[in-house]
Amino acid sequence: MDTGFIIEKFILVAVIFGISLVVAMYSTYAERKVAAYLQDRLGPDRAGPFGILQPLADGVKMFMKEEIIPTSSNKWLFIIGPGLALLCACIGTAVIPWGSPMEIGGKMVPLQVADINVGVLYIFGVVSLGVYGVMIGGWASNNKYSLLSAIRAASQNISYEIAMGLSIIALLLMTNTLSLKTIVEQQHGLNWNVWYQPLGFLIFMVCSFAETNRAPFDLPECETELIGGYHTEYSSMKLGFYLFAEYINMFVSSAVMATLYFGGYNYPGMDSMAVWLGPTWAPLFGTAVFFAKIVFFIFFFMWVRWTIPRFRYDQLMNLGWKGLIPLAIANIIITGVVIAIIEKF
Amino acid sequence: MESLSNKKKVLEQKPLSFMERMYLPAIAKGMGITISHLFKKEATIRYPEVEREFSANFRGMHSLKRDENGKERCTACGLCALSCPAEAITMIAAERKNDEKHLYREEKYAATYEINMLRCIFCGLCEEACPKEAIYLDGPIVPADYLRKDFIYGKDKLVEAPLEMKK
C-alpha cells in the first residue's frame, strides 16, 4: 500500500508541476495575445499557427542568451534569488484540490497532493516566502534600482498580506475550517462563497493583484522609475525564472481565488453529471471546470493589466492601509454579527 | 480680465467624491472600454503575405525605364546624381558602339549605374531632374538585407525587364 501511495502521489506531483509550468509558459503567450487584441493588434503570429510555438522560441532564446553575473554582486545570493522565487511559486500548488476523488481501477485517488488541515495558512506562508526571491535578487544585484525595487516589493507584500489575511478571516468564520478540501466540498453546486462574501472576495482579489506584483500594483518592476526593477541586472534564464515565477504566482492565486470563493471544481448540475459520467470521468470534468475558472481569472489579471494605469507609491500605501484594512475589519465584524444572529434564531 | 477668445476654462480642483475615491465605477467603465476593443477589427497588416495598398504617387524602389523599342532611355547625363540630396546615385558613362544600337537609345549610355538604397531618402528629385524620363520611383518597398554592400543596387536590379520578357 505504501509504495502504491508513493507512486500515486509522485505521478500527481509530476502532473501538477508539468501543468503549472505549461500554464505559465502559455500565460506569457496569452498575455501578449490579450494585450494585442485589447489594443487592436494581432500579437505574435509568426512561430507556428497563430504563433502557438512562440513560448518555445522564447524559452530557447532565454537559454541561449549570455549569462551575466555582475562582478560587484553577491554571487551566491544572485543565483539563489530567481531559484527561490520559482520554487516558492511552484510549491503553492501542493494543497489545492484539483478535483473530487477519482476512481482508477477500483481505487479512490484524491486529486490533491496534500490535504493538510492548515491549507489556507500554508498558502499564506508560501506566498509570503515568495517575496524573499525578489528581495534577495534585488539586494544581491548591488544596484540602486534593484535595491529600491526589492524594498518596494517587500513593503508592498507585507502591507497587502494584512488585508488579505483579514479578508480571509471573514471567510473562515463561515467555513469553520482551514482545510481547502473541506472549504471546496462546502460549496457544492452553486453554493459558492462569493455570494456570501462579495466584499471579502473583492478585497482578496485586490490583494492578490498586489501579492503577485501585477498591474496596477507592479511597482517593483516599474520601468519608468526603476529600469527593470529587481531584475535589472539579470539576464538569460535567471531573468526567465523571475518572469516564470510571476506567471506561476498568477496561476496559483487564480486557483486559490477559484477554490476559496468560486467553488473550485463545483458547478451547477454536478450531481446529475456525476451519475451520467461515472466515478472516473465526472471528477475529471470537475477539474476541467476548475481550470476554466482559473483561465478566466488569468484572463482577468491580464485584462486589468491592460486597462488600469499603475498606482503611485503613496496611493498604493493609502489604499492598502487606509482603504482595504478597515474594510476587511468591517467585513469581519459584519460577518461575525450575522453568524451570531443566525445561530441564535 | 475677461478673455477675448472666450475659450478660457477655469479648472476647479474639487476633492474626489466618495464614488470617485472608490475607484470601482471608473475601473468598471475602463474595463468595459478595453473589452469592447477585443471584438474590433485589428489594424495590423500581415506584411509579407498582405501588402498595404499604396496611393498612386507612392515612391518606392527606382526603376530605369526602356523606350517603346526596348532600348534603355538613360544617357548617363548625371542630372539625377547631381539633384540627389543624399548623394545616393553614381554612374559611369560609356559610348555606344555600332552593334549596340538596339540596346541604347542615345549615343551615350550608363555602363554602371548604382543607387545606394541606405542613402536614398526616396524624395523623388531624381525622377524630376531626369530629362529623358528614364528613372521612376514606381517599384515596391526596398526589401531588407543583411549586408551594407547588398544595398547598393546596380543595373541588374534597377533596369526594367526587356519588352519580350514582359510579355
**Domain range list for chain B:** 63-162
Contacting residues of B for A304, CB less than 8 Å apart = 31
In the block, residue with C-alpha cell 488585508: A163
Angle, to 10 degrees, between the axis of helix A2-38 and the axis of helix A236-261?
Answer: 100
Q: Which residue of A has its CA nearest to B41?
A: A40
pLDDT at A329: 92
pLDDT at B4: 80
> Looking at this predicted complex, what is its ipTM?
0.73
pLDDT at A295: 92
pLDDT at B164: 65
What is the least distance, in Å, from the CA of B119 to any CA of chain A?
Answer: 30
| Tens place of pLDDT per residue across chain A (345 aa) | 578 788 888 888 888 889 888 988 898 899 999 888 888 888 888 888 888 898 899 889 988 988 888 888 888 888 888 888 888 888 888 888 888 777 777 777 777 777 788 888 888 888 888 888 888 888 888 888 888 888 888 888 888 888 888 988 988 888 888 888 888 888 887 888 888 888 889 899 998 888 888 878 887 777 777 777 788 888 888 888 888 888 898 898 899 999 888 888 888 877 787 778 777 788 888 888 889 999 999 999 999 988 888 888 888 888 888 888 998 999 999 998 998 898 887
- What SS3 state is found at A103? strand
Angstrom distance (rounded) from CA B59 to CA A45: 29
| Tens place of pLDDT per residue across chain B (167 aa) | 677 887 878 888 888 887 777 788 888 898 899 888 888 888 888 888 888 888 888 898 999 998 888 888 899 898 999 999 999 999 999 998 888 888 888 889 899 999 999 999 999 999 999 998 899 998 888 888 999 999 999 988 888 887 665 54
Angstrom distance (rounded) from CA A55 to CA A21: 11
User: Is cis: bond before A216, omega within 30 of 0?
Assistant: yes
Q: Which residue of B has its CA nearest to A46?
A: B46
Q: Which of B16, B21, B31 to mutate to test the interface with A (most CBs of A within 10 A)?
A: B31
What is the least distance, in Å, from the CA of B25 to any CA of chain A?
Answer: 12
User: Looking at residue B87, what DSSP letter applies?
Assistant: -
Percent of chain B with pLDDT over 70: 96
Q: How many CB pairs under 8 A join A and B?
A: 34
Contacting residues of A for B40, CB less than 8 Å apart = 40
Q: How far is CA A192 from CA A102, A208, A248, A259, A333, in A?
A: 22, 19, 25, 9, 21
pLDDT at B166: 53
User: Which ranges constitute the DSSP H helices of chain A?
Assistant: 2-38, 54-64, 75-91, 119-140, 144-175, 180-186, 198-211, 223-226, 236-261, 270-305, 313-317, 325-344
Inspect the interface and report whether the beta carbons of A38 and B40 lie closer than 8 Å: no
Q: Which of B30, B37, B46 sits opposite A308 (nearest CB)?
A: B30
Q: Which of A42, A303, A307 sits opposite B42 (nearest CB)?
A: A42
Q: Which of A38, A41, A308 sits opposite B44 (nearest CB)?
A: A41
Query: Does B135 belong to an annotated binding site?
Result: no
Q: Which of A37, A202, A315 to mutate to test the interface with B (most CBs of B within 10 A)?
A: A37
pLDDT at B117: 92
Contacting residues of A for B18, CB less than 8 Å apart = none
Inspect the interface and report whether the beta carbons of A37 and B42 lie closer than 8 Å: yes
Contacting residues of A for B38, CB less than 8 Å apart = 37-38
Angstrom distance (rounded) from CA A19 to CA A143: 35
Q: Which of A36, A45, A303 sits opposite B35 (nearest CB)?
A: A303
CATH topology of domain B63-162: Alpha-Beta Plaits (3.30.70)
Contacting residues of A for B48, CB less than 8 Å apart = none
Inspect the interface and report whether the beta carbons of B43 and A306 lie closer than 8 Å: no
What is the least distance, in Å, from the CA of B20 to any CA of chain A?
Answer: 13
Q: Which three cell numbers stand for residue A248?
A: 506561476
Q: Which residue of B has its CA nearest to A206?
A: B24
Contacting residues of A for B44, CB less than 8 Å apart = 40-42
What is the least distance, in Å, from the CA of B24 to any CA of chain A?
Answer: 10
Angstrom distance (rounded) from CA A316 to CA A156: 8
Angle, to 10 degrees, between the axis of helix A75-91 and the axis of helix A119-140?
Answer: 160
pTM of the model: 0.80
Q: How far is CA A340 from CA A165, A178, A186, A334, in A?
A: 21, 20, 19, 10
Domain ranges in chain A are 71-344
Q: Which residues of B touch A (CB under 8 A)?
A: 27, 30-31, 33-35, 37-38, 40-44, 46
pLDDT at A90: 87
Query: Does B80 belong to an annotated binding site?
Result: yes
